[in-house]
Amino acid sequence: MMRNIAMRDAYGQALAEIGAEMPEIVALDADVAGSSKSSIFGEKFPDRFFNVGIAEANMAGMAAGMALKGKIPFVHCFAAFMMLRAGDPVRSLGCYQNLSVKYCGTYAGLSDSYDGASHHAISDMSFFRALPGMRVVSPADAVETRAAVRAAAGMLGPVYLRISRAEVPTLFSDDYKFEFGKGVVMRDGTDLAIVATGGMTAKALLAADLLKKDGIDARVINIHTVKPIDRELIARCARETGALVTAEEHNIYGGLGGAVAEVLALTVPVPLEMVGVQDVFAESGDYEELLEKYGLSVSQIRDKAKLVIKRKK
């Protein structure tokens, strides 16, 4: 692992770079451009940047109109409000018409830690995953974020990009190749597979290090695309290891854990444990302390791994 970089910084830089190559890209922001880092695009292309104010639903509606006229809109607000405020036009305009709007939900998971439950986004993946035609992407680091932005810009149809506020370790080199719907084997192993997404991928790798000291050989899989999920890879991991643990900064219902459970139920049923927020609202506080309190630490991934191995015996 290399130095920590905030995904949102990588996102803003990538959008500006790709915007120089694709003049049809426009950016809309709900008055949080400094937070989402869409401001980097806005400074470079002021005539293609629209701050709509605190009006997320209107923003999503405007983006749909722009897409119908051949633009590729990137829409920005906090992830919680992309779901709760913009959800209606995202569903009825963006998805229903299969428009090429890219919805960037920033401050995902618990990363807006001090603003508390009103701003935490722990059910956004379940919402967006259930929308017909929507792709859901949760990058693991800054390199993957940049690659995901480029891939989203070139893809027809709607995409939800889930971007954390937190700094995360750099896991990939600059020549990393991103492919929608294809998970990445970060580390091989035979005793179980830890299937992670977003910032939890780095923690899964650390958990695998702890497990190695206890004689447990853990495979680590990065699932950057939660929808469409890599069914083939998950089923193969289930066949080869016999047990899985999922790790996500999201409610255990409807996100990565739910998606993996669906795959296993239809392909290779094996014991499964889920690391995630246990269906509660999280309080305000220090980010890492919140992750620890609500079950999202390295040690808790390790403990779930040991539990699922016992279940498969």
Cα–Cα nearest to 25, from 55, 8, 45: 45
Q: How far is CA 28 from CA 71, 128, 277, in A?
A: 12, 19, 31
* Contacts of residue 6, Cβ cutoff 8 Å, sequence gap at least 6: 142, 164, 165, 166, 167, 168
CA–CA separation, 275 vs 257, rounded Å? 8
Task: Output b/e per residue, 271-309; b: 16+ Cβ within 10 A.
Answer: bbbbbbbeeeebeeeebeebbeebbbbbebbbbbbeebb
Sign of the torsion formed by the C-alpha atoms of 122, 278, 206 and 128: negative
Report which of 53, 21, 312 is spatially closest to residue 191, judged by C-alpha positions.
312
As a whole number of angstroms, the distance between CA 141 and CA 197 comes to 10
56 is catalytic: yes
Q: Which of 24, 56, 288, 289 is catalytic?
A: 56
| Residues known to be catalytic | 56
